[in-house]
């Protein structure tokens, strides 16, 4: 996601400084004209706006507030987190950066690798109004910007709601389609009918026809990351006193799928434990 978003900024004519612990990940951007620096601190000494796309909340916190992190930079004014970290970490990072006069903005994104490449992401921006005026022209190259709030963590909460619903659609659609296949129905026809009726959702429209029925399982979003996002959402719901009865069931199935298929398994592999329990496979009918 980060590489694709960065490429859109390079192509839009921005002078881009980049850093990644994986040197190979930077090569396409360097070839496109980006300039490499040697640390997050160096990045924050080269640019006034720093955007990060990172895998977990502790990594975001270390990159932002660590001894060689963004906070040690001499030029940075705004820190933009496009990762999914949850509101607790967002508030912690914002408070730490504020001590150095750096504004922190949530800007988690949704839309997958394709959306990142094509600039059609949903960008859930939360930041003060002054920063909004600066950031929206930049972030508009990544997709549609929704300014959801002015407080740290509000963008993160919005993203967790999105990912909970995405996981829920994947979980319940897995059970429904597996049930249909067990009853002898054709999986392609199952999703065609669902998509023409009230059962239509993101899993039946996109994930089943493109990644599950063909058995490619290469949507590009890891089970471990989705499991992390749903757990963060459950924790925030608990802190807010909001019951998550259906969400808890989704979390349980997702935890089972992550344990059986591995942290690096594709999120579309949620269907596999359900298939094994039912003794069927959601795939093209064998000729």
Q: What is the pLDDT of residues 237-282, one digit of tens each?
A: 999 999 999 999 999 999 999 999 999 999 999 999 999 999 999 9
Last residue of a domain, one of 132, 150, 168: 150
User: Structurally, how many domains does the chain consist of?
Assistant: 2
Last-in-domain residue among 150, 173, 189: 150
Q: Are residues 127 and 192 in the same domain?
A: no
Read off the pLDDT of each residue in 20-27 and give the average, rounded to a whole number: 92
Cα dihedral: 243, 248, 249, 251 (round 10): 150
Q: Supply the pLDDT for residue 176.
A: 98
**First CA to last CA distance, the chain:** 38
What is the rounded average pLDDT of the residues 52-66?
A: 94
Mean pLDDT confidence for 32-52 = 96
Domain boundary among 150, 171, 197: 150
Tell me what the mean pLDDT of segment 214-223 comes to. Answer: 94
Residues 16 and 124 in one domain: yes
71 and 129 belong to one structural domain:
yes
* Pair (172, 238) in one structural domain: yes
Residues 20, 125 within the same domain: yes
The answer to whether residue 230 sits within a structural domain is: yes
pTM of structure: 0.91
Instruction: Please indicate, yes or no, whether residues 34 and 60 belong to a single structural domain of this protein.
Output: yes
Listed in order, strand segments (DSSP E) in 16-120 are 17-18, 35-36, 49-52, 78-81, 103-106, 109-110
Give yes or no for residue 287 having a pLDDT over 70. no
Q: Do 242 and 168 fall into the same domain? A: yes
Percent of the chain with pLDDT over 90: 96
Residue 267 lies in a domain: yes
Please report whether residue 189 resides in a domain. yes
142-178 pLDDT tens trace: 999 999 999 999 999 999 999 999 999 999 999 999 9
* Secondary structure of residue 20 in the 3-state scheme: coil
CATH number of the domain within which 195 lies: 1.10.1040.10
Distance of CA 259 to the CA centre of its chain: 20
159 is catalytic: yes
The reply to whether 166 falls in a domain is yes
Per-residue pLDDT of 93-150, as tens digits, reads: 999 999 999 999 999 999 988 899 999 999 999 999 999 999 999 999 999 999 999 9
Phi-psi region of 215 (alpha: psi -120 to 50; beta: other; left: phi over 0): left
Query: What is the rounded distance in angstroms from the CA atom of residue 174 to the CA atom of residue 177?
Result: 5
Query: Dihedral (C-alpha) 41, 46, 48, 50: value to the nearest 10 degrees?
Result: -50
Catalytic residue selected from 15, 100, 159, 207: 159
Does 125 fall in a domain?
Answer: yes
Q: Are residues 165 and 78 in the same domain?
A: no
> Cα(130)–Cα(243) distance, rounded to whole angstroms?
36
Domain interval for residue 128: 2-150
**Judgement on whether residues 140 and 161 belong to the same structural domain of the protein:** no
53 and 189, same domain (yes or no):
no
Query: For tokens 């706006």, what's the residue?
Result: 49
Question: Whole-number mean pLDDT of the chain?
Answer: 95
**285 pLDDT band (50/70/90 cuts)?**
confident
Contact 4, 116 (CB under 8 A): yes
- pLDDT at residue 153, rounded to an integer: 95
Does 283 map to a domain? Answer: no
CATH number at residue 14: 3.40.50.720
DSSP 169-231: HHHHHHHHHHHHHHTT--HHHHHHHHHTSTT--HIIIIIIIIIITTT---SS-BHHHHHHHHH
139 and 185 in a single domain? The answer is no
pLDDT on residue 112? 86
Give the pLDDT of residue 271: 98
Q: Are both 238 and 192 inside the same structural domain? A: yes
Q: Please return the burial class of 28, using the count of CB atoms within 10 Å of its CB with bins 0-12, 13-18 and 19+.
A: middle
287 assigned to some structural domain: no
- Domain-embedded: residue 285: no
């Amino acid at each position: 996601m980060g590489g694709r978003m960065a490429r859109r900024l390079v192509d839009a004519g921005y002078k881009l400084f980049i850093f990644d612990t994986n040197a190979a990940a930077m090569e396409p951007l360097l070839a496109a004209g980006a300039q490499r620096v040697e640390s997050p601190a160096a990045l924050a000494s080269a640019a006034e706006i720093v955007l990060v796309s990172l895998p977990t909340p502790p990594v975001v916190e270390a990159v932002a507030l660590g001894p060689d992190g963004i906070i040690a930079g001499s030029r940075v004014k705004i820190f933009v987190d496009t990762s999914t970290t949850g509101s607790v970490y967002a508030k912690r990072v914002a408070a730490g950066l504020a001590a150095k006069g750096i504004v922190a903005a949530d800007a988690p994104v949704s839309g997958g690798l394709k959306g990142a490449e094509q600039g059609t992401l949903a960008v859930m921006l939360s930041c003060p109004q002054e920063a909004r005026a600066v950031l929206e022209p930049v972030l508009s190259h990544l997709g549609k910007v929704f300014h959801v709030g002015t407080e740290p963590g509000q963008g993160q909460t919005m993203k967790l709601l999105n990912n909970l619903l995405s996981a829920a659609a994947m979980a319940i659609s897995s059970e429904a389609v597996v049930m249909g296949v067990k009853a002898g129905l054709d999986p392609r026809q199952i999703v065609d009918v669902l998509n023409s009726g009230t059962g239509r959702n993101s899993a039946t429209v996109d994930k089943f026809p493109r990644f599950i029925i063909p058995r490619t399982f290469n949507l590009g979003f890891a089970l471990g990351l989705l499991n992390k996002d749903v757990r963060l959402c459950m924790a925030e719901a608990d802190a807010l006193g909001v019951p998550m009865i259906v969400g808890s069931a989704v979390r349980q199935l997702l935890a089972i799928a992550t344990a059986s298929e591995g942290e690096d398994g594709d999120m579309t592999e949620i269907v596999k434990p359900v298939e094994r329990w039912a003794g069927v496979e959601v795939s093209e009918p064998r000729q």
